[in-house]
Structure 1
Amino acid sequence: MKETIKNYITTIREQFGTRSSKVGSYSFILTAVVLAILITVNAALGFLPDSYAQADLTANQLYSISSQSKVMLSSLKDDITIYWIVTAGQEDEFVEKLLHNYEDYSSKVKVEKKDPDLNPDFTNAYTDEEIYNNSVIVECGDRYRYISYEDMYSTSSTDAYSMYTAADEFSGEKLITSAVSYCTTEDIPVIHVLEGHGETALSDSFAEAVETDNLETETLSLLNGEAVPEEVECILINAPSTDISEQEKDMLTEFLEGGGRVLILSGTNTEDELPNLKAVAEYYGISVMEGVVVESDTDHYVFNTPVLLMPDLESSEITDPLIDDNYHVIMPVAKALDLSKTDSNVTVTSLLTSSEGSYLKEDGYNIGTYEKEDGDTEGPLTLAALAAKETEDGEGQMQLVWIASSVMLDDAYNQYSSDANEDFVLNALEMMCGKEDSVSVRSKSLTNEYLTVSTSASSLIKIVTIAVIPAAYLIFGIVVVVRRKRR
């Protein structure tokens, strides 16, 4: 028996003493060491913030916060508390990751979970709205803002015959960063929206964008007043269908002379030529030219429609953010502005211009052809302009912006421009209000975004994808077949 065991041990030693056994042993030991290192590193990464331990490889950076949010978080001086209203086990992955990123990036931000089942009355002090799971409350001192979970996602129906819906965009970061800005800002600028002349109501989308940008809106009527109220600093006049009165014209001019700010959207779809409103702009060197601008350059219009303009953005405080991010504004059915009669004490800046191949057709909506005709005013033409003038006391500056399209803020055109239309107007309002900490965080698409391209670019893409690429594959296949047969 002992001899058998001894022989067995000797056999094992001989087997493990071979070269192949030694190599196998080294491989096993090396594998064990590598696994131990990976386990240790993985455990160590668990203690690091998500921003350092994990990489966001999604196309729209769904699990990251943008540079705009980081700039705001870096400048925080007061402590921010974000209450996450969520039932245990029902956390939304996008919201959870987003809140962790805020907390990881700034020591001033603290996230607290509040289970509505355990704290049913917690939200009563903040809102009387219906509370949805994964909603958020941002608080700083005495200021707070409630963000409903429903508002974080925009959805659209995918089937006209069913109740099925799918989320298109995630707006969590946009809303939370806006709320942080709101809670840490002492004075919120107010935009007064003129009424009483058949003005077009602000779309829900634009009204929401104004609120997200931490601007407030109030209606303003000048019909029964003698002067613009002292508390008014900025007036928005959105596509009036009837003219202002002589008295209102004088009131607006006096308001501007005192350092007021006015933004006007008015284009070809107005029934009245609005002589009094136009006179306000003419006082500062902006003359409105009646008609409709038509483009012949396919790089400057979209959807094969020469009156849906894609103008050039001239460098300015209003347009530079859009230029830097390569966004394009869409100007539908626009008039033109003449800036040739400017006084020396007024600075007039062109913001949007058509191409040299454009022309103004005076018949407006009654034009019978898009082709250029005798008498049409040749481009380039100004489509939006800013007039600025120092006040007499030298302590302020009046600003007047005229955008020569009444439907620029319509949801459809804004969507086609990937919100560039909306951003253009918001940038102008921010400048007029002296607002420096604008919230320009965009919603993140969960599906697809519109790509704003000119008609010529669209045609080129079609030719390449439908003809050039298939032809190239066909030629390549023929060459391969011919070569093989020759062999």
Structure 2
Amino acid sequence: MTDKIRNSFKSIASKQGSYSVGLTALVIAIVVVINLIVGQLPSQIQQIDISTNNIYEITDTSRELLDGLDKDVTFTVLADKSSTDERIRNFIDRYSALSSHITVEWIDPVLHPAALSTYEADSDTIVVSCADTGRSTTVAFTDIITYDQMSYYTTGSATESEFDGEGQLSSAVNYVTTDVTKKVYYTSGHGESSLSSSITDLMSKSSLTLTELNLMMASSIPEDCDLLLMDAPVNDLSEDEITMLSDYMEGGGHLFVILGSDVSETPALASFLETYGLTSAGGYIADTQRSYQGNYYYIFPELSVCGDMANELQSKMVLLINANGLVEGTPARDTITLTPFMTTSSSGYAVTEDGQSTQGTYVLGATATENDSRLTVISSESMIDETITSQFTNIENLTLFMNAVTANFDDIENLSIEPKSLQIEYNTMQYTGLIGLAAIIGIPVIFLLYGLRQWMKRRKA
């Protein structure tokens, strides 16, 4: 009996079976080792963002900022890492991995309560600091994942609305590594539109501080005014105010004008713009070639932008509604250079109240430079109207607007990265999860099927 058992192990079938068992064990061992190795990789390598809102996507703007970083920056996260929202954890890992100058430290304030006093910050906060400049700032988790508080009144609970990880961190890194800030005065006293929270937040991210200036009560434009913004004035400017603007521009000032809904009500301002070669076409502008779903007054202008003005413009789809048309004319001085950057197609029409229209190409946005001064004009207040930019989420109105604002400065970059909506569910696919699933189910099934096939072949033989 012993010899019979010994001889059975010497048979061909026994040898093939031993080979199959050994091969199976080897493959499983390899999968386990690979799984262990992948498990030690950072999250930005382990995970693939396949969400429609791409909450983990980092724009070229931030990548360029981090590529040029030459100072060490520390992210001190005052929170329990294990209980922190996974999206925030993963984004911090992905973001910090883009620069060797960024170090991340996690401090649990429950275990180390003195840390809150040391950093003068609350829990669930990222303290961004730079030892070289001595500057620091904080980013609260509630600034990264924001909530729609209005939903509380309708549903009884606040729902997540936006993810602003990139915008908050890039703004913080820029703030602590540079002391360059610019002061923007926005005019009042002429029925101007109020700047939305979206605009004020975007300007803050680019180190632009906002201050109101009532031209009717001012004797001159303040000397520290780096940019004067006039958003859709309803009432006209006085002669003294026009003189004030002219003096400001002659001194190398930067002026940004967004025209109101009816330019016929602001003839003095229109005359000022004519000095720079921009003449009102009269009426509203329609475009039969580049319009939204056949509504000719909802225009997608043709953009002629390059350099800083083109930053992060992916689709170049900007929507203007009820825009005033401008006609490119001859500036009053040879030293003025006029450059349109936003126009209608050749199928544009200037439609007046009496129904008359004239076909042609009309200017919807332009810049005029003279020595150190710069004038930027946009022909419709819908450019930064929050009701429009929030309704049409795919348009790039705010990106182009902020590019046009920061183009006034050589030492300011447009870091106004818009938050990503959380209204659509996201999903994260992990390599480790796929490998584990393959090791547990996929590979054994494959070998089982292979073994069954081999068994049936031998049985038939």
Q: TM-score, normalised by structure 1?
A: 0.79
From 262, 266, 280, give the equivalent of 2:259: 266
SS in 2 for 1:256: helix
Distance 1:386 1:346, change over 3 A: same
User: Structure 1, residues 75-122: CA drift from partner, whole Å, max 9, x if none?
Assistant: 222211112122353111111111122333322211121223234453
Letter aligned with residue 265 of structure 2: E
Aligned residues: 420
2:351 aligned with 1:361, yes or no? yes
Residue 332 of structure 1 is matched in structure 2 by 321
1:124 Cα deviation from its structure 2 partner: 4.9
From 63, 71, 83, give the equivalent of 1:78: 71
5+ residue gaps, structure 1, are 1-6, 368-372, 391-396, 450-487
1:74 Cα deviation from its structure 2 partner: 2.1
Residue 385 of structure 2 is matched in structure 1 by 410
Quote the Cα distance in structure 2 between the aligned partners of 1:442 and 1:195.
26
1:82-481 → structure 2 map (5 Å cutoff): 82-87=75-80, 89-120=82-113, 122-124=115-117, 131=122, 133=124, 135-141=125-131, 142-156=134-148, 161-269=154-262, 273-297=265-289, 300-317=290-307, 319-321=309-311, 323=313, 325-342=314-331, 343-363=333-353, 373=355, 375-390=356-371, 397-415=372-390, 416=392, 418=394, 420-439=396-415, 441-448=417-424
Quote the Cα distance in structure 2 between the aligned partners of 1:202 and 1:327.
23
Quote the Cα distance in structure 2 between the aligned partners of 1:264 and 1:191.
13
Kindly indicate whether structure 1 or structure 2 has the higher relative contact order, using CA contacts under 8 Å at least 6 residues apart.
Answer: 2
Distance 1:15 1:98, change over 3 A: same
Quote the Cα distance in structure 2 between the aligned partners of 1:410 and 1:265.
11
User: Structure 1, residues 28-87: CA drift from partner, whole Å, max 9, x if none?
Assistant: 111222222222233333444334454444454434544432322222222111121223
Mapped contact 1:318–1:427 kept (Cα < 8 A): yes
Quote the Cα distance in structure 1 between the aligned partners of 2:118 and 2:386.
35
Mapped contact 1:82–1:109 kept (Cα < 8 A): yes
Letter aligned with residue 400 of structure 2: F
Quote the Cα distance in structure 2 between the aligned partners of 1:338 and 1:423.
25
Quote the Cα distance in structure 1 between the aligned partners of 2:286 and 2:407.
30
Letter aligned with residue 181 of structure 1: N
**Percentage identity across paired residues of the two chains:** 28
Q: Which runs of 4+ in 1 moved over 6 A?
A: 157-160
Quote the Cα distance in structure 2 between the aligned partners of 1:350 and 1:231.
28
Letter aligned with residue 246 of structure 2: T
Mapped contact 2:337–2:368 kept (Cα < 8 A): yes
SS in 2 for 1:432: coil
Distance 1:155 1:199, change over 3 A: same
Mapped contact 2:402–2:416 kept (Cα < 8 A): no
1:250 Cα deviation from its structure 2 partner: 0.9
Quote the Cα distance in structure 1 between the aligned partners of 2:48 and 2:361.
47
Quote the Cα distance in structure 2 between the aligned partners of 1:295 and 1:419.
18
Distance 1:65 1:383, change over 3 A: closer
User: Structure 1, residues 412-435: CA drift from partner, whole Å, max 9, x if none?
Assistant: 211215351111111111011224
Task: Please identify which structure carries the higher strand content.
Answer: 2
Mapped contact 1:50–1:104 kept (Cα < 8 A): no
Quote the Cα distance in structure 2 between the aligned partners of 1:178 and 1:328.
25
User: Structure 1, residues 371-400: CA drift from partner, whole Å, max 9, x if none?
Assistant: xx5x4121221111111112xxxxxx2111
User: Structure 1, residues 327-369: CA drift from partner, whole Å, max 9, x if none?
Assistant: 3111111101121223432211112111222211122xxx6xx
Quote the Cα distance in structure 1 between the aligned partners of 2:306 and 2:65.
23
1:261 Cα deviation from its structure 2 partner: 0.6
Distance 1:410 1:303, change over 3 A: farther
Mapped contact 2:80–2:109 kept (Cα < 8 A): yes
Quote the Cα distance in structure 2 between the aligned partners of 1:64 and 1:427.
20
Quote the Cα distance in structure 2 between the aligned partners of 1:434 and 1:73.
19
Q: CA RMSD in A?
A: 2.6
1:166 Cα deviation from its structure 2 partner: 3.5
Distance 1:63 1:358, change over 3 A: closer
SS in 2 for 1:408: helix
Distance 1:361 1:187, change over 3 A: same
